[in-house]
Amino acid sequence: PFRVHTVWEQVFDDRRHYAHLSIRQPDGSERWLSELLVEAGLARLHTKGAPLPDGTLRADFTRHLQAVEKSARLDGRGGWGQLAARQRSED
């Protein structure tokens, strides 16, 4: 199960709109899809960001995601693992 949260703000000057998706975890808690994807190394930060519906400031969540992304990169999760393997083969 998931929930979509949006205020219908456009992304840059495009037809897309910002949305935050919260995903219900097996224990009943909810996590942001963006956090889950970055944590798994399946996404990287590349947006202007927006405040979260729970009141978390954009800058605070961006710093959190940067730390999560760094951890995924250092652990070689997802796409970061492929990048590390490619770099090793070039050495």
Secondary structure of 29-71 in HEC code, one letter for each residue = CEEEHHHHHHHCCCCCCCCCCCCCCCCCCHHHHHHHHHHHHHH
Q: Is the pLDDT of residue 24 over 90?
A: yes
Tell me the per-residue pLDDT of 46-66, one tens digit each, with 9 for 90 and over.
877 788 999 999 999 999 999
Of the pLDDT bands very low, low, confident and very high (cuts 50, 70, 90), residue 87 is low
Q: Name the percent of the chain lying above pLDDT 70.
A: 88
- Residue 86's pLDDT is 67
Q: Is the pLDDT of residue 15 over 80?
A: no
